[in-house]
Structure 1
Amino acid sequence: MNITVIYNPAAGGGREALLCRFVAELERLNARVTLYHTTGPNDATRYLQSREDQGDCVVAVGGDGTTNEVLNGIAPGVALGVFATGTANVLAKELALPKKPEAAARVVVQGKSVMITPARLNGRRFIMMCGIGYDAWVVDAVDLGIKERFGKLAYALSMLSQIRRYGEQRYRVAVDGRPLDCFSAIVTNGKHYGGSFVLSREANILRPQVQVLLFQKPGVRFLLRCLTALLFGRMEQMDGVASLRAEQVTISCETGDEPIQADGDPAGRLPADIVVDPEPVPVRVADTFNS
């Protein structure tokens, strides 16, 4: 098996020792490994697009942002593998991927592939989620220095700093052509959010649809109740939160230069045009994964 390993040394503060163990196990399993260290944002995408032969599988070693870059550079038919070492690893949680490098390597070589359909945000793929409103403000305001040193603490601090803004902006969201208003929205391909939290029990990453969560009430108290519900996996039970399946979503607002986040990183500004990608991607999972 020919494997290209894309390693982001900035993700999670760097995990060189784990990377070495991961690659050593791949080679023990008779895989032929090409290793690439990224040097900055979007470098993984550029590198993969420059390669005529990416091998049988490209493995993203880092966080969800690294996986997003690999997803946008991977060639059709090449499998995507994930060894999660970053700050947030939502896809790894969604697919029940192991944290130990030796076990992760065995999944890549000895596991199976399941077909996952990403979505496209203004033409660029994302595999887990994108958001506008409070969700995007938090990502946009994260202090990268704190993130590099303290990981998820950076997101917690950003959440606190943005709470009072919630409700100041209204958005128009068209869900498969049906116009709806909200004060924040998350479009998700899977159930999980921020790692282990369950955002949507209705979502299914193996289904060629996204789940759209609309936060339709203003007010800081409502937002705090939503965040509390997230801790217990009850977001969709909240009065004022609508959850709908969709194949196409457009999002706009009349005023303001509003950010978008995708897979945990800033992803441009509104308007947003989100469509289910017509081309699924084979993703390596354990043989025991229930598909």
Structure 2
Amino acid sequence: MSSPRAGAAVPPWALAVAAILSVQLGSALSVDLIREVGAGGTAWLRLSMGAVIFLIIARPPLSRVRRSDVPVLLGLGITTGLVTVGFLAAIEHIPLGTAVAIEFLGPLTVAALQSRSLRALIWPGLALCGVLLLTEPWHGAINLTGILFAGLAAVGWGVYITLTQRIGDRFTGISALSLTIPVAAVTAAAIGIPQAVGHLSPGILAAAAGLAILLPVLPFALEMLALRRMTATAFGTLMALEPAVGLVLGMIVLHQQPSSLQFLGILLVVLAGAAAQRGGRRRSPAEQLPGGSTLDPIP
């Protein structure tokens, strides 16, 4: 294990960027598994492996759970499962960068609605313009199924943030994930088991375990380390790079070639995400999200 002193030598922004890379690489590499067991099957296997890992490394704080916490914890887990299934179903139909950009509309909209300034609504609008450039509906060849699944993931991401803000003062860090990820796995099982049955093999299970480390285990650990040493505003600004990283990894791993207009669309989404963080303030521990992240669910 690395010592705290060694971890402190790594700049916090590097930890945040490494988390972004892990999330998007895990998403890109999931495409091959989706072809084998479907989007639901991939979500179920990945979340189940992640749940096992979190239960091994963190004891669920069951003694701290109050009756009033149960609906929110269940809601978080169910939302996480649905977001994961929705996002994986989206990248089965549309390019990774496009799916990430559409999903990113969720947290941007929540941030705008929670702001006291009407000017904050500019940023989701700018991101929506970027999404239109990414999907190019004027060509008449848009993949409505993929867009709808990505839209479902965006709504789920917004709900996720709202729920975690409600319960962030009660459960933080990996211990919270040991409560919610098993629920997410059970949620995904309703769709995933019928898709995956008959296709499971040692190779499939090994691939799912590797993907679970890339997403969700490693990113949440890196994000927690980063957030201990940087403001939530700075962290959120870096998270705005996710659509761009998704686009680049889509090109490298999945050989998806965007047009010039689609590059411009990604740029608009990134600018909107970064601008939405300006003027923010450092969140108190009561406002931090479970898992240490201010933005990410488990795509």
Give the TM-score taking structure 1 as reference length. 0.29
Higher helix fraction (1 or 2): 2
Give the TM-score taking structure 2 as reference length. 0.28
Higher strand fraction (1 or 2): 1
